A and B are shown apart, each in its own frame.
Chain A
């Protein structure tokens, strides 16, 4: 068959549709090293590769990439942990002698491998530091939750004590949003105090809880508030509890004072 006739078969060959006697003759022609046909086939192949560009998009599964990466990992494990792929075939002995660049190429490759390892190690360290910080934050949160849980348990136990009374405290003009509650046991002379939405105490100041009995104030302790304005105070010994008429909270100098001197923020009466 003439070259012209063979050349006409190039598009059908590139499409992969050539068969039978045509295919055998065409491949025999290619083996002669026909550059024109070779070039024509390559051009047709590149055009044919554009055909799928016309197709509408099919949505891939969301995990398609992750499944592929998992397969990659599995394959690497089954082959051994580290995979090294030679980029070039091993040359014959004579050629190898001439390739004086080979040691340099090895050195460069080793350098690249070292850099990749160092980069990975650096990323790993950064990742570990982030994990450590996250763990610390979670531990802090855990401590807060444990404290709250412990307080809740204490309150539950205290409420179940016979004779416990609950007195609400309302915010005064100083802190109209604030509120509080005192749970007290006249028999055991103990109390638990809660407050919420109190403003932060200024520097050098603290809140102080008072029991007013026989029209006299008795200090029940000082306390601070958290950033949300909440406070919790245990009063282990409330000597005047059986005579208590009112409860109050005032803002006093740090450490507390024997008699109230500052502005009142909470007040509750029996």
Chain B
């Protein structure tokens, strides 16, 4: 990132090679549309190019920063087109999104390990916890909006999110930062 901050295009190209897939997967999951997702990826990397000098490693690793920017921009785009998809508890396909899609065996092993680990961790959550977390994470919905959409008391949603993320913490604790 230091090189990118100095205007090194080759370093920027390497940064793109390393992280664009992660950003694209996330943007595509939020927007459910590839072209818009690619637009988001471009915006994210242009922002990285412009703001590289403001990146501070001690505030978090680079992939965390990229994921945060991508998620924020994708959700903004989602809101702007007012096409928010609300997960339906009866929609099995979306409910099983993480747990049941098989990983691509051609992917590099490191990514495959993380992918399997994350799927396992998500698989360990109760269905209602997972739904609430996904609604917030991918749809950008607040706790009140989730409560309204699911017709559940706000306190119940807060408990689900909190207990779900603590469960995730237990499942991932030895691997965070790897």
Contacts and interface: CB of A to CB of B under 8 A. Distances in A.
B5 A87 contact: yes
Interface string B18-43: 00111011101100001001100110
A52 B136 CA distance: 13
Interface string A101-144: 00000000000100010000000000000000000000000000
A58 B31 CA distance: 12
A84 B143 CA distance: 43
A49 B46 contact: no
Interface in B155-169: 158, 161-162, 165-166, 168-169
B71 to A, nearest CB: 8
A19 B136 CA distance: 12
Contacts of A47: 165, 168-169, 172, 176
A85 interface: yes
- Interface SS of chain B: helix
B42 A68 contact: yes
Nearest to A11: B165
What is the interface residue range for chain A against chain B? 35 or more
A52 B29 contact: yes
B107 interface: yes
A75 B46 contact: yes
Contact of A18 (B20, B28, B140, B142): B142
Contacts of A15: 133, 136-137, 161, 165
A149 interface: no
Contacts of A22: 143, 158
B111 interface: yes
Contacts, number: 152
Given A17-B142, A55-B25, A72-B46, A12 B16 contact: no
A58 B60 contact: no
A158 to B, nearest CB: 59
Interface-central residue, A8, A43, A46, by most chain B CB under 10 Å: A46
Interface residues of B, number: 66
A33 to B, nearest CB: 16
Interface string B68-102: 10110000000000000000000000000010010
A6 interface: no
A87 B1 CA distance: 11
A86 interface: yes
A42 B41 contact: no
A65 interface: yes
A45 B46 contact: no
Interface of A: 8-9, 11-12, 14-20, 22, 42-58, 60-61, 64-65, 67-69, 71-72, 75, 83-87, 112, 116
List 6 A-B pairs, minimum CB-CB distance, nearest first. A54-B118, A11-B165, A19-B142, A52-B26, A17-B136, A49-B64
12 contacts: A44-B169, A45-B68, A46-B61, A49-B63, A52-B71, A54-B115, A55-B26, A58-B25, A64-B20, A72-B12, A85-B5, A116-B8
Given A19-B142, A52-B26, 18 more contacts: A8-B162, A12-B143, A15-B137, A16-B142, A17-B136, A17-B161, A18-B143, A20-B142, A46-B177, A54-B98, A54-B115, A57-B25, A60-B20, A61-B34, A65-B13, A67-B42, A72-B9, A85-B5
